[in-house]
Amino acid sequence: MDFLIFQVPMLTLQAVLDGLLLGILFALIAYGMALQWGVMNIINIAQGDLVILGGYIAYFMYLYGIHPAWGVIVSPIIMYFVGVIIYKLVINKVVDRDLFISILATFGISILFMQLMNFAFGADVVLANSGYGTTMLFDNSVTLPNSKIFSAFISIVFAIGLVIYMKKSKLGRAIRATAQNARAAKILGVDTEKVYAATFGINAALCGVAGALISITFTIHPYMGLPYTIRSFMIVIVAGLGNLPGVAMSGMGLGVFEEFADYILGTEFRIGSVFLLLVLILVYRRFKLSRKREYLK
């Protein structure tokens, strides 16, 4: 059964398309992470849990008879405020500290969120149905659920919207200034405290959008956040901070990589292969870095 993917050409196409659609969604989550990592120097372990919380918002709308697609509007609004509250309560106390402290703090938030969601929503696996149907290509041999296409489309819209916002708006400029040099920005009159809160809020809002999309394409469960954190961490590591096209490319690359790993190595190695890739990339970066230092000497 090995390498069935190379015997059936349509499977290859299916894997590439599935991977791309999945990757675009990952990229959206990773973009939020890259943003607040770049601005605040905080690695947010609770990223995936924010995604899941966003998913629950869409799920509850669905439960009350509202089409879950509206979740992509409602969920980010609620999540923005959730993000700002988390910032005010916890993150502002660790923002200038060592990276390790922020990892611990967000790890704590992650555990807290998992337990709270489990407590509030129960441990059942849930999903919201969009009823969007399926696009069939090549005589039904390649199928693309419309919900996945919708997810990718919405992700792109939000990503582009955010790029424009960061370039044109006052807050966007303030965020970029703070990212470049927080002290200088402060001296020039930027309220960095406000910028940090807004950045964390925007990140949470992006997670909210992604969560809503995940609830209509996949499933939601209180303990399912971590794989999303890992993937976005991985995408950001590959792309580097502040490299938006890089985030999009590495997101899609990771999506396709996962799909192919699934076909070639087996489904059981799918998430494992992401970890392996992460290790390889970190080792490679480290290697490159050590070379550079020698050169500087």
Partner 1 sequence: MKIKNIIITFVSAIAILFSTSVVSFAKVVGDKIILGAAISLTGKYSSNGVHTQNGYNMAVDRINEMGGVKVGGKTYKFDIIYYDDESNPKRAAQLAERLISQDGVEFMLGPYSSGLTKAIAPVTEKYGVPMVEANGASRSLFTKGYKYLFAVLAPANLYLDVAIETAVALNGGKGVRIAQAFEQDAFSQDVRLGILDAAERTGSKIIIDDKLPKELNDMAATLAKVKAVKPDVLVVSGHTKGALTAIRQIAEMKVDVPMLAMTHCDAAKLSKQHGKNSQYALCASQWHKTLTYKDDFFKDGMTYAADFEKLFGYDPPYQSAESSAALLVFKDAFERANTFDQKKVRDALAATNMQTFYGNIKFAEGGQNVDKPMVLFQVMCDDAGKCENKVVAPLKWASAELIHPIPKWSER
Question: Which residues here bind partner 1, judged by CB under 8 A?
Answer: 1, 4, 8, 10-11, 14-15, 18, 22, 115, 118-119, 122-127, 129, 134, 136, 140-141, 143, 145, 147, 218-219, 221-224, 226-227, 259, 262-263, 266-268, 270-272
CB of 38 to partner 1, least distance (A): 27
- Compare residues 134 and 290 and give the one whose CB is closer to partner 1: 134
Q: Which residues contact 159 (CB under 8 A, 6 or more apart)?
A: 27, 28, 31, 244, 248
CB of 269 to partner 1, least distance (A): 8
- Compare residues 131 and 240 and give the one whose CB is closer to partner 1: 131
CB of 226 to partner 1, least distance (A): 7
Backbone angles phi and psi of 135, in degrees to 5 = -100, 125
CB of 97 to partner 1, least distance (A): 30
- Compare residues 141 and 169 and give the one whose CB is closer to partner 1: 141
- Compare residues 131 and 161 and give the one whose CB is closer to partner 1: 131
- Compare residues 115 and 290 and give the one whose CB is closer to partner 1: 115
CB of 71 to partner 1, least distance (A): 16
